[in-house]
Structure 1
Amino acid sequence: MSDVRTITKRGGAPRLRADASRNRERIVAAAREAFVEYGAEVTLDQIARRAGVGNATMYRHFADRAELNRQVVLEVLDRVVDLAESAAADPDPFQALRRFVHGAAAERVGALCTTLSGDWQPIAEELVVRRTRLEQAVQALMDRARTAGLIRADVAPGDIVIALSQLTRPLPGTGCLALGRFAERHLDIFLDGLRAPARSVLPGPGATFEDLRPHP
């Protein structure tokens, strides 16, 4: 069996060969699609077939399901963080926020929530780094829109996260794919509700990032 790793010319650090790297990327992409389409119970064999690789290739890259789940979560978080940070380049503060919300929804974060159970200790530090960047970027988007007088004063960043999770999660009995036709429509309804001036008084305080963190 050939090793999937080779040695870099500098420093002697191992890295994936180009073909092995492509296989790993295909597996992670296929896993994400399968989790969205079929839920957390999809098997590794199904994911391997979807990726167009053999079972042996799958297990060379990922020793078990938990390891694959963690990699999918990290890659999706990376894309969502990049979206939040790059959206700031839009000169219109509200459109910058809208761009992030729709981009993050396209990652189907709500449908992927079922993969977030289990032991995350092996990547706990990496999760914290990404979460911190995401929180800072989303806070900056909201602060900019609020300073411009474009969003109501009684909403908080956690409200955005909750809405993304709920509006990209399939309704019971409908299947994950059925929601895609309506997600963008309902996201715009939600975004219109953020606009200033406010047309209602919201009950209670807005959700903060601290409210959404797991507590012992």
Structure 2
Amino acid sequence: METVTRIAADTDTDTGTAPRRTPRPRADALRNRERIVTAAREMFVEFGPDVPLDEVARRAGVGNATLYRNFPDRAALTHEVVLSVTSRTTDRADEAAAEEGDPFAALSRFVHAAADERVGALCPMLSGGFDKDHPELLAERRRLEEAVEGLVARAMSAGRLRTDIAVGDVLVGLSQLTRPLPGTACLDIDRFTHRHIQLFLDGLEAPARSELPGTAATLEVLRRRP
């Protein structure tokens, strides 16, 4: 009886035929897709978001047809790169929270790790012609924000983080300090990035050594559009 039930559940009730199942991508196809995204991420960092897609295919070690089969245009590839970087950065936040006993050490570890993920290189891409409000991107961004909110809240509750800042201050500082200066290649700033991030983190640590002008940058303020 159980077998009959299972067969019936797998059968199209209108036609009496088994429904078509979407085949899973082959392992080699998934590897090619991942290689394309990795190559695009690296080249967007090195040369900017307008790097020729043919060069991305060459870096990934695949043919142009394979690239366009996975990503029909630049907007689709950019979408995937932004999604990948955001997801990887969130993973770094989760790892820091789980593995560091000192809440401020966890926040510091995350900020340095996020710099290595080249989050600042996302900024030029976010002005490109793709859907920044795509539900998939919004969900991943929210996951990142919640992870950083947790790091900030724990460090503040432990008295290790100054209380006149908010999550947005951390994200803005991180974005600005990992973004190349005008006329400077992204890779050229690597030797300064972690040095300047540490100066930034020293300024976040409690007790505060100065009074900050203005008000704390909350996520609500950052989401507000002109």
| Shared fold (TM-score, shorter chain, > 0.5) | yes
1:117 matched to which residue of 2? 127
1:157 matched to which residue of 2? 167
Aligned-residue offset at 1:126: 1.1
1:68 matched to which residue of 2? 77
Aligned-residue offset at 1:19: 0.9
Matches for 1:1-216 after TM superposition, within 5 Å: 12-89=21-98, 90-121=100-131, 124-215=134-225
Aligned-residue offset at 1:48: 0.7
Q: Residue 119 and residue 38 in structure 1: after superposition, are their counterparts in 2 closer, same or farther (change >3 A)?
A: closer
Give yes or no for contact 1:70–1:123 (8 Å, CA) kept in 2.
no
Amino acid paired to 2:145: E
Aligned-residue offset at 1:124: 1.4
Structure 1 ranges of 4+ moved more than 6 A: none
CA distance, structure 2, for counterparts of residue 122 and residue 113 of structure 1: 12
Aligned-residue offset at 1:130: 1.3
CA distance, structure 2, for counterparts of residue 151 and residue 131 of structure 1: 23
Helix, strand or coil at the partner of 1:104? helix
Aligned-residue offset at 1:91: 0.8
Give yes or no for contact 2:126–2:132 (8 Å, CA) kept in 1.
no
TM-score w.r.t. the length of structure 1 is: 0.90
CA distance, structure 2, for counterparts of residue 194 and residue 30 of structure 1: 34
Which stretches in structure 2 are left out of the alignment for 5+ residues? 1-19
Aligned-residue offset at 1:213: 1.4
Q: Residue 174 and residue 122 in structure 1: after superposition, are their counterparts in 2 closer, same or farther (change >3 A)?
A: closer
TM-score w.r.t. the length of structure 2 is: 0.87
Greater alpha carbon shift after TM alignment, 114-123 vs 175-184? 114-123
Aligned-residue offset at 1:53: 1.0
Which stretches in structure 1 are left out of the alignment for 5+ residues? 1-10
Number of paired residues? 207
Helix, strand or coil at the partner of 1:112? helix
CA distance, structure 2, for counterparts of residue 181 and residue 192 of structure 1: 18
CA distance, structure 2, for counterparts of residue 81 and residue 202 of structure 1: 28
